[in-house]
Amino acid sequence: MALLALAAALIVPLAACSSEATSSDQPKTLRYASGDAEPTCLDPHVGGNWPQAILANQFLESLFSKNDAGEIIPWLATGAEASDDQLSWTITLKEGVSFTDGTPFDADAVVANVEHIKNPETASSTAILALGKVSEAVAVDARTVRFDLSEPDSALLESLAQTWLAIESPAGLERGTEENCLAPIGTGAFQVASWEKQSQVVLTRNENHTSAPEDGVTSEGQPGAAVGTIEWKFIPDAATRLAALQSDQVDIIDSVQPDALSQFQANGTEETLIGARPGVTARIELNTTRAPFDDPKVREAFAASADIDAAVESLYFGTLDRSTSVLSSATPFATSHPDSFGFDAARASTLLDEAGWTERDADGVRTKNGERLEVAFPVSTNQSIPAEISVLEQIGATSSEVGFDVQLELLDLSTWYERSGTWEFDAIVAPYSKNSADVLRIVYSTDSITPAPSGYHANNTGLSLPALDEALDAAVKTSDDAERERLYGEAQQLIIDSGTVIPLYDQTVQFAYGDNVHGFRLQPNVNVPSLVNVTIE
């Protein structure tokens, strides 16, 4: 049997906190303002996007987490052991843990969650794709669950460390999707008390919380939340969020704009926290299922016509760097490809001539057989911050100089998902987070062109490359890190060479908060915010 060596417990240094701030008889309220889209469902099994994850991480817990070194560590699990053939994983579970409805956490609960995720009626996307190689979960005894696999999956424990696969009360799941979406029941440091839609979700402290991950401690050195209540407010406008922080109406804000981040870092008026999301980078993906990007020359021309470096430099004020990688810098085995990208308008023009786009209309847009060189580019205003939208506008402007007509369309999240799901786009920016390089298989394999039960297809390029599929399948089947690194490097080169992806920069999370807030950190499982240790002076 191949035994997984789980990292020893780590105590993460946190800011010093006073005993008054954590007094249980006078619990304080933490006010958090989010600029991400308000979820339509609080259960991260359903669909599975980033706004669900950052909120659910406060009240749901996973079997595993990661420490700051990127090592898998126990959370609701205590250990994991793989069979010699790598076709099953036996996972042992913590004792003495209960969901906030009183239901005991045990192997049956884990099985119920796996079945819930894999049930097509759940309409899962992120979670079900992560469990794609899991045939079933079997309760061996109350404290032991076995995951049986159709093929070896070296990324399974990394998947089980993600918030989208957090464990919920079986009794809560049995209520049905509509009710469970309103208030999923977990084992976490908080529980959902109320949800006033288009306003806020209120979370209250779980007084019986005992199941922090091995690297998670509070100011008193014991599992459990330091504040009594969280008011998680939805404030989509960036300026309004910033004003709320500066006028002490909220304590923490996310999705902070680059100009404000740069100012805070320079003058120290507010504390800041920035982290890269693991998974793929923020990148433009080109749809090869229709013209014009079914032609490799046109794809290469579009990439060469985009002056990305200048846009990032002028609009992000030094708060992040241009990336030439498919994978985020927070993801193992990421490789950079600086020689594959660079602004070259002359090269772009030559490529378009070679592709037959030789004429221009009165607007200067290239034409071919009477068709204009248009690029339909839907953008989610919930997922792309204003600075990113400005980057895309600058890319459209430089591309227009060589004859492209980039038509940015700003959409709400649900409309954007609809356009993506029906392939009504030529170019798109679609974030996807996962804490391993296996994200490449989920996002770029041929299998991922087929929609998940949610209707979402993770592969937005529509390109099927057998050599890429082979490399990604081999990488997920081996537990040899050197071989994984080689295979994922090969896969990244194939993706870059296809011309279907134009990297921009790391997906990042950006926060600002007052100097009276202590213990705020990112949980390394997928760099989601963790509020369990936060105290307020």
Q: How far apart are CA 208 and CA 99, in angstroms?
A: 9
Q: How far apart are CA 369 and CA 113, in angstroms?
A: 54
User: Could you tell me how many residues make up the chain?
Assistant: 537
Which pTM was predicted? 0.92
Question: Which residue, 169, 171, 174, 215, is CA-closest to 188?
Answer: 169
Q: How confident is the model at residue 14 (pLDDT cuts 50, 70, 90)?
A: very low
- Per-residue pLDDT of 244-268, as tens digits, reads 999 999 999 999 999 999 999 999 9
Q: How far apart are CA 341 and CA 364, in angstroms?
A: 25
Q: Give the H/E segment covering residue 179.
A: helix 177-182
* pLDDT, position 9: 33
Domains annotated on the chain, with CATH: 18-275+509-536 (3.40.190.10), 282-506 (3.10.105.10)
Q: Is the pLDDT of residue 198 over 70?
A: yes
Which position has the token pair 């996807």? 432
- Per-residue pLDDT of 296-330, as tens digits, reads 999 999 999 999 999 999 999 999 999 999 999 99
- Per-residue pLDDT of 412-434, as tens digits, reads 989 999 999 999 999 999 999 99
* pLDDT, position 217: 55
Sign of CA dihedral 23, 28, 32, 38: positive
The beta strands (E) that lie in 306-426 are given as 359-360, 366-368, 371-372, 374-380, 405-411
Q: Mean pLDDT across the stretch 266-290?
A: 97
3-state secondary structure of 164: helix
Nearest 5°: CA angle at 195, between 114 and 272? 85
3-state secondary structure of 11: coil
Residues paired with residue 285 on neighbouring β-strands, in sequence order: 428, 501
- Per-residue pLDDT of 366-405, as tens digits, reads 999 999 999 999 999 988 999 999 999 999 999 999 999 9
Q: How far apart are CA 74 and CA 53, in angstroms?
A: 19
Which position has the token pair 């690194």? 485
Q: How far apart are CA 109 and CA 92, in angstroms?
A: 13
Q: Is the pLDDT of residue 182 over 70?
A: yes
Percent pLDDT > 90 in the chain is 90
* pLDDT, position 20: 42
Q: Which two tokens stand for residue 95?
A: 């004792």
- Dmax (CA) of the chain: 75
Question: Which residue, 202, 186, 167, is CA-closest to 93?
Answer: 167
